[in-house]
Amino acid sequence: MKKIHLLLLKAFIRPFFVTFFIVMFILLMLFLFKYVDDLIGKGFEWYVILELMYYASASNVSMALPLSILLSSIMTFGTLGENYELVAIKSAGVSLQKAMTPLLILIIGIAISSFMFSDYILPKANLKFGSLLWDITNKKLSFLIKPGVFNNSIPGYSIRVNKKGSDGVSLYDVMIYDHTSTSGIAKIIIAKEGTMSSNDKYLFLKLKNGVRYEESSNRNTFNNPRQELTRMRFSETDQKFDISSFKMNRTNEQDFRNNTAMLNLKGLTRKQDSLVKDLDSINKFAAINTGSYYKQNNYTKGYTRFKAPVKEIKGDILKAIPVASRLFALQSAFDNATTIKQTTSARTADYEDRLKSITKVELEYQRKFTLAASCLLLFFIGAPLGAIIRKGGLGLPVVMAIVFFLLYHIIATVSEKSATTGSLRSFFGMWLAIFILSPLGAFLTYKATVDSALFDVDYFKQLIINLFKNKKKKDMAPASE
């Protein structure tokens, strides 16, 4: 390997890793902002949130990897062009295509790795992420007693504590409303002090020096306004509350395995085949069921084996029906049409849902390949673009990278949405952005090869200055004459 190739590889790898981890960090922060309401106040251990972020980072690779390749390639060749190293490379007889060869081999390796990642690692990561996120979002807020506030987290109970000890266990001026009675009458417990302890299933309160109030529900208070109230004093009592619902229970990952985003290519193929077979069976059944309403009977009345030939009716069909039977025929036809309309309208919604499921499977199948293709495409946009603008660092390259990546991302998103709604075929929905921007990559590569000043600010500045100078000379020419 030539020293020039080593120089280009070193110049590319460093910004690639830096930009990749920066983009991943930004996407993870956006993920945390999105699910912050589901994470706060539920008492999760730090490793649970870290595990969720680890699995979420796998789905962010599809956006972070192409963007980091685009940005690092612009920065690499922009820095080489700014320091006149590309000029030295070309003067040594090495063309831009030859200089890009080692980086192209590296990008092809990254593209193949991204395809393997999409097919093998990403489905498993999505499976674990989906199951863990489901458990987190369905977990209740952690049980927390705050002084001076009624806590209604435990079903059937309201607990209020006037003051908590510095140890976090001692409680003072405890009041408990018990609404678990079937009669609808609450029981009230008031204690001067107590202690709190818990395990995975129960919360234990040991109360001291208190009173228990309970209304009697046996007497009829409609005619007699006098009510019985039972008051029991205690020096010490224990209360147990079920808090097992506050613990996060892990669901079985197999329940989520049939999700489209959690399947590899083989799983997607099997799921698509099964969905297509189910749809064909439903269409055949619907055709047979609906066709029975349009069948023309060719048998005569009575118990005879003789079959009358099919009669061909021309002109107005009502004229072929006797006058006395026309009203009955019209009513029967109207009833059949109403039945067909109701049957088909219900089946149309089911047909559209099944068709959308098939489309989602097809889109996910193509997505396994578009990640690798986008890496190659954005490299062929970024490398010649950096050689043209000849600016390194994090200034202009970042702006150009964001512009082209947004262009790619917007086209890909719009085309994918169009494919989901049925406006485009699934193949074109996923590949349209690559098809549109591929000519742009070829055009930029050509311009970089011929040393075009397409994005050279100084070139356009000088062009504008010369334009004004020529205009000024033309304006002064008649005056001199």
Mean pLDDT of the chain: 78
- pLDDT band, very low/low/confident/very high, at 179 (cuts 50, 70, 90): confident
Q: What is the pLDDT of residues 378-409, one digit of tens each?
A: 888 888 888 787 776 667 777 888 888 888 88
Taking the C-alpha atoms of residue 229 and residue 437, their distance in angstroms, rounded to an integer, is: 82
pLDDT (mean) for 247-252 = 63
Taking the C-alpha atoms of residue 388 and residue 318, their distance in angstroms, rounded to an integer, is: 79
- pLDDT band, very low/low/confident/very high, at 452 (cuts 50, 70, 90): low
Q: CB neighbours of 364 closer than 8 A, spacing ≥ 6? A: 260, 261, 263, 268
Q: What is the pLDDT of residues 78-117, one digit of tens each?
A: 877 777 777 777 777 777 777 778 888 888 999 999 899 8
Do residues 32 and 54 touch, judged by C-beta distance below 8 A?
Answer: no
Q: DSSP string spanning 112-133?
A: HHHHHIIIIIHHHHHHHHHHHH
Q: What is the pLDDT of residues 330-364, one digit of tens each?
A: 888 888 788 878 777 777 777 788 888 888 888 88
Name the more confident of 107 and 228.
107
Q: What is the pLDDT of residues 26-78, one digit of tens each?
A: 888 888 888 777 676 566 677 778 888 888 888 888 888 888 888 888 888 88
Strand boundaries in 167-228, DSSP class E: 170-178, 187-198, 202-215
pLDDT (mean) for 287-308 = 60
The helix-helix angle for 46-82 and 96-116 (nearest 10°) equals: 170
Residue 114's nearest CA partner among 430, 370, 371, 380 is 371
List Cβ<8 Å contacts ≥24 apart for 415-421.
416/363, 419/359, 419/363, 420/356, 420/359, 420/360, 420/363
Say if residue 16 is exposed, middle or buried (CB neighbours under 10 Å; 0-12, 13-18, 19+). buried
State the CB neighbour count (10 A cutoff) for residue 262. Answer: 21
Taking the C-alpha atoms of residue 427 and residue 415, their distance in angstroms, rounded to an integer, is: 10
**Rg, the chain, Cα only:** 37
Task: Please report the pLDDT score of residue 481 as a whole number.
Answer: 43
Do residues 436 and 374 touch, judged by C-beta distance below 8 A?
Answer: no
- pLDDT band, very low/low/confident/very high, at 232 (cuts 50, 70, 90): confident
Edge-to-edge, what's the strand order for the sheet holding 202-215? 157-164, 170-178, 187-198, 202-215, 229-242
Residue 58's nearest CA partner among 109, 116, 132, 126 is 126
Task: Please report the pLDDT score of residue 245 as a whole number.
Answer: 62
Task: Please report the pLDDT score of residue 299 as a whole number.
Answer: 47
Instruction: Quickly list H helices, 122-256.
Output: 122-137
Do residues 236 and 337 touch, judged by C-beta distance below 8 A?
Answer: no
Identify the bridge partners of residue 213 per DSSP, sorted by sequence position: 188, 231
Q: What is the pLDDT of residues 406-434, one digit of tens each?
A: 888 899 889 888 888 888 888 888 899 89
State the CB neighbour count (10 A cutoff) for residue 63. Answer: 16
Percent of the chain with pLDDT over 70: 80
Residue 421 in tokens: 């709604």
Do residues 377 and 438 touch, judged by C-beta distance below 8 A?
Answer: yes
